[in-house]
Amino acid sequence: MRSQSVPVGGATPKGLGESQSVPVGGATPKGLGESPGIPIKSTQSALIIPGMSYCLNTNCENPQNPPGAKYCESCGTTLLLGDRYRAIKQIGQGGFGRTFLAVDEYKPSKPYCVIKQFFPQDASFPKAKPLFQQEAVLQESLGKHPQIPDLLAHFEQDDRLYLVQEFIDGQNLGEELIKNGCFSEAQIWALLNDLLPVLQFIHEGHLIHRDIKPENIIRRQADSKLFLVDFGASKTTNSSVAKTGTMIGTLGYVAPEQLEGNAVFASDLYSLGLTCVHLMTGIHPFRLLTVGINTWRNHLSNPISSQLSRVIHKLLLPDTLHRYQSAAEVQLETNYFTSLHPAAIGSPLALPIPSANNSALIVSKIGAADYRSISQAIKNAQQGSRILVRPGFYQESLVIDKPLEIVGDGSVADIIVESKGSSCIRMQTGYAVVRGLTLRHRAGNFTSLFDKSSYAVDIPQGQLILENCDINSAVATGIKIHGASADPRIRGCRIHNGKGCGVLVSKNGRGTLEGCDIFGNNFEVQITEGGNPILRRCQIHNGKGFGVWIDENSKGTVEDCDIFGNIEVGVYIGDGSNGIIQRCRINRNEGHAVCVSVNGTGTVENCDLTGNIVGAWNIATGGLLYYQGNKE
């Protein structure tokens, strides 16, 4: 499904799925393996009479029918789809079928909706049919989002498959580009801020859209809210229905790895970057391929700030390891840049523009390099710089006091940062990225065990993106998140064998931990003094105490985690605290799976709580637990 607009005064609704762009030197290229979401070619318009009926029989020679008719006057076919939906006009046709504007006859207001009819025109039918069916299955499993059209129905009638979806009254961004010209910087920031949460939602639902482009983003007329449409090309990461090796999408917007049939979440971000380029330049990305995507700045109609240039540049990096890893990471950076210099957005000053060849400062103990220590690189780096750290042993404590990236250029095990008596990393800026380092926190000459003044990673403020690091503290806590302005994203890290907590969140700190392996610490995860983090898809195991401890008026959300083999309770919810535990496997702990103390409140849903030595639950008098769908 593509662009949609309510017909007014007899006007034809704009092409639902009709691809409109500003090509250079020729027609817009067609899709790379057409989406079974029905890529639509616009049709000649005819006057729409309110209440008129359109026959869905593909062989009908005269499909137009008078208002309220039950059967087609030409072929006798029933005109109500599923005894409910009345097509009133065909608005598009592609290789896999047709799209119709329709009304829902069941509702008093007769609201508009969209009917997609699966009607393949070529030999691709065997492959396309399951993908068409998959669109409905995936969108239903994804759940509702206020910026994704609702799936209303999916069924078969008269040997044809149909999807019925919510109708969005508005124009797609391709149509806006034609009507109003190239987008300004302010419009691109607004686009990113509006659409990134939608992408994060579908990615958290294990879905890759695979067809992000201006024609699949609709601006609703009523409130200018952006909608993401057409999930016909989408792929789930939880199933083999759309297997690796399938090339699908729209040529020009497709990421390099997607061209090879290996789409990942970052592939949608690449397509989003090219969408922004198209809207800012008026040039279809396919045309830029001939001169190089990195030349896009040369074609801008209006100058843009270095902040926006940096974001687009990183969205378009060809290597997925160097590209943004999630929509949430892009949003953190866009939020930081726009809040840091709100008045400077639109000026070319605040942060340096990355060069086309993605040059970076090199840190290495031997050989050619810009610096021999990471601290010196940080000191001399400009805001927004990228620091590549090559294999070596770096005995230093890093204070990050400006927005930048520090990325290991080699195996994590071979790039070691070791601090003695002070933190390996202390965050003293609003935004930074650290990726691919081994961080070892050791006692100094006058430091005792359980010293509370330093941690392997100390985050008292800002949005630190910490990814794929190996973290160990022989002194105290591995990662400490503290303070109301601390809100990091920690992904894919090993946090292990510490003398204190693996992760400590306190003093109203927040943050999200995803896909981390946390093990062998005295406490694995401790949330205290008003902390409120999210733990998602983590393994929390073999600790010397509790798995997850939530206490002292704190909150915590634990989703899809494995919590096992800990000496004490799997999850403890203490006085005045509230824990939400969903879809977790809490097994083989020596205490209970879940313990709720006096005045504690817990919600435990759809969890496996089997195999714990003293049982699934321990609810103290005065404790409150909501639970459903658990296996005990």
Residue 392 backbone zone (phi > 0: left; psi -120 to 50: alpha; other: beta): left
CB 542 within 8 A of CB 502: no
DSSP SS3 for 334: helix
CB distance 471 to 496 below 8 Å: yes
DSSP state of 187: H
Beta strand segments in 95-211, E:
97-104, 112-118, 151-157, 160-166, 170-172, 207-208
Q: How far apart are CA 589 and CA 541, in angstroms?
A: 9
Six token digits for residue 611: 């195999």
Please list, in sequence order, all residues whose beta carbon lies within 8 angstroms of the beta carbon of residue 83, skipping any fewer than 6 positions away.
Answer: none
Spell out a b/e string for 136-155, using b for 16 or more CB atoms within 10 Å of the CB, else e.
Answer: bebbeebeeeebbbebbbbe
pLDDT at residue 46, rounded to an integer: 36
Alpha helices in 382-429 (DSSP H): none
Helices (H), 319-383: 327-340, 374-380
- Do the strands 226-228 and 235-236 form a parallel or antiparallel pair, or are they unpaired? unpaired
**In this structure, are residues 578 and 602 in contact, taking their beta carbons and an 8 Å threshold?**
yes
Q: CB under 8 Å to 185, separation ≥6 — which residues?
A: 280, 302, 304, 305, 308, 345, 346
Q: How many helices (H) and strands (E) does the chain have?
A: 9, 44
Helices within 357-428 (DSSP H only): 374-380
pTM for the predicted model, two decimal places: 0.62
Rounded to whole angstroms, how far apart are CA atoms 474 and 481? Answer: 18
541 φ, ψ to 5°? -155, 160
- 3-class secondary structure, 279: helix
pLDDT of residue 122: 60
Catalytic residue among 122, 150, 211, 560: 211
Contact between residue 255 and residue 285 where contact means Cβ atoms under 8 Å apart: no
Give me the residues paired with residue 627 across strands: 604
For residue 225, say whether it is annotated as part of any ligand binding site.
no
Q: In what order do the strands lie in the sheet with 80-81?
A: 80-81, 85-94, 97-104, 112-118, 160-166, 151-157
Please spell the DSSP secondary structure of 131-152, one letter per residue: HHHHHHHHHHHH---TTSPPEE
Reported as type and span, the H/E element at residue 125 is helix 125-142
* H-state helical runs in 402-444: none
Secondary structure element (H or E) that encloses residue 305, with its range: none
Residue 239's pLDDT is 53
Report residues of the chain scoring pLDDT below 70.
1-51, 94-95, 121-129, 131, 238-247, 338-359, 444-453
In angstroms, the Cα distances linking 558 to 111, 404, 513, 515, 614 are: 40, 30, 10, 12, 22
Which residue do the tokens 């042993």 mark?
393
With a CB cutoff of 8 Å and minimum separation 6, the contacts of 583 are 559, 560, 605, 606, 607
Q: Is 211 a catalytic residue?
A: yes
Are 88 and 79 spatial neighbours (Cβ–Cβ below 8 Å)? no
Give the CATH number of domain 171-340: 1.10.510.10
